């Protein structure tokens, strides 16, 4: 059998490593560098230190964008964590026609976010289906400006995000529910536990790991929301830009030949730090036992060293 060359594994790894470096690591490192400059397109950047971050603290638009992102996280995380689980419980049973319902629930996931947002805009515009229906049934004398009010616009965008994400996380929970033993439900039923009791005491603990993962994915996605708000507000970010997300603000500041690329990079760096928080939480929660063992071992080593030092004295 012919022996392979020593460089063969490295040759196979090179395309993947080059792809990650060119399209992930290098843009990230370049963004970090630009965050400390006053870079603009077609101009030589100058180092300004922390000036961009000081300007950020006094920028009202950033606080509006941060509020929008936090509201998105607070509302979307619980909704998209529990609703897909309930949906998965409904469609996990093998009954005639259940495949149709699974496909129907998953269809919004494969649909284009832009196309779905345009349909949503048609529904909630001042002359859209929702307002016409309210007017027809006599529930409103004049059109409700769903897309012209800050909080109504954010609410419509959250509704779109939840509706589009239900099917995706439903599939995640369907895979997790397959690992929850039926004997646990049977044992709980024999002990007299009702459906809700079995749900909270058997089902939820059985999918706790996937549930934590889903919550983190939703949190990161909500912090980086863009398409829904951009399309529903026609790129304006709502009245006065008060419904603008952080990603929309980055695009608005950095676009064009007069774009403040350095300032936009500073905002991008802040967004990166914010998205690290939920990832750190899930990392600590998943490795709680390992961290506890490591801390206990460290305390033991310190105690042994202290005893040895005292013995020598």
Q: Is the pLDDT of residue 150 over 80?
A: yes
pLDDT value at residue 266: 92
pLDDT value at residue 267: 92
Q: How many CB atoms lie within 10 A of CB 38?
A: 17
pLDDT value at residue 313: 61
pLDDT value at residue 116: 86
pLDDT, tens digit (0-9, with 9 covering 90-100), for 269-301: 999 988 888 777 777 776 676 767 777 777 888
Q: Which residue has the higher pLDDT, 81 or 102?
A: 81
Triad 272, 53, 46: Cα angle to 5°: 105
3-state secondary structure of 125: coil
pLDDT value at residue 2: 58
Q: Which residue has the higher pLDDT, 181 or 116?
A: 116
CA 90/CA 85 separation, integer angstroms: 9
pLDDT value at residue 269: 92
pLDDT band at 312 (very low <50, low <70, confident <90, very high): low
pLDDT band at 75 (very low <50, low <70, confident <90, very high): very high
pLDDT value at residue 185: 66
Secondary structure (DSSP) of 140-155: -SS---TTTSHHHHHH
Q: Is the pLDDT of residue 186 over 70?
A: no
- Quick one: how far is CA 215 from the chain centroid? 8
pLDDT, tens digit (0-9, with 9 covering 90-100), for 28-51: 999 999 999 988 888 888 898 889
Instruction: Point out which residues pair with 47 in neighbouring strands.
Output: 37
pLDDT value at residue 3: 66
pLDDT value at residue 126: 83
Mean pLDDT lowest among 74-78, 153-157, 236-240, 308-312: 308-312
Distances (CA, A) of 217 to 124, 278, 312: 28, 9, 54
Q: Which residue has the higher pLDDT, 48 or 187?
A: 48
Q: Is the pLDDT of residue 1 over 60?
A: no
| Average pLDDT of every residue of the chain | 83
List phi, psi (to 5°) of 43.
Answer: -130, 150
pLDDT, tens digit (0-9, with 9 covering 90-100), for 192-248: 777 777 777 777 777 788 888 888 888 888 888 888 888 888 888 888 888 888 999
CA 160/CA 175 separation, integer angstroms: 24
């Amino acid at each position: 059998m012919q022996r392979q060359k020593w460089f063969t594994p490295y040759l196979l790894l090179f395309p993947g490593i080059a792809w990650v470096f060119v399209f992930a690591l290098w843009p990230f490192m370049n963004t970090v560098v630009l965050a400390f400059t006053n870079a603009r397109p077609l101009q030589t950047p100058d180092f300004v230190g922390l000036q961009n971050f000081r300007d950020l603290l006094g920028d009202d638009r950033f606080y509006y964008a941060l509020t929008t992102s936090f509201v998105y996280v607070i509302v979307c995380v619980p909704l998209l964590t529990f609703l897909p689980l309930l949906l998965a419980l409904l469609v996990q049973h093998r009954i005639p026609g259940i495949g149709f319902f699974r496909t129907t629930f998953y269809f919004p996931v494969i649909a284009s976010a832009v196309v779905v947002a345009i349909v949503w805009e048609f529904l909630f515009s001042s002359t859209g289906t929702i307002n016409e229906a309210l007017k027809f049934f006599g529930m409103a004398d004049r059109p409700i400006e769903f897309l012209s009010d800050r909080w109504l616009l954010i609410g419509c965008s959250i509704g779109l995000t939840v509706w589009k994400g239900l099917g995706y996380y439903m599939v995640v929970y369907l895979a997790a529910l397959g690992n929850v033993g039926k004997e646990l439900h049977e044992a709980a039923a024999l002990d007299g536990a009702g459906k809700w009791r079995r749900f909270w005491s058997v089902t939820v603990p059985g999918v706790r790991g996937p549930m934590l993962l889903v919550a983190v994915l939703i949190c990161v996605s909500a912090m980086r929301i863009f398409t829904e708000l951009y399309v529903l507000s026609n790129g304006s970010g709502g009245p006065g830009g008060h419904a603008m997300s952080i990603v929309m603000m980055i695009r608005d500041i950095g676009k064009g030949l007069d774009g403040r690329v350095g300032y936009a990079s500073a905002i991008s760096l802040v967004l990166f730090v914010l998205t690290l928080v939920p990832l750190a939480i899930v990392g600590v929660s998943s490795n709680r036992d390992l961290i506890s063992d490591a801390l206990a071992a460290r305390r033991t080593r310190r105690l042994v060293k202290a005893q040895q030092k005292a013995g020598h004295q």
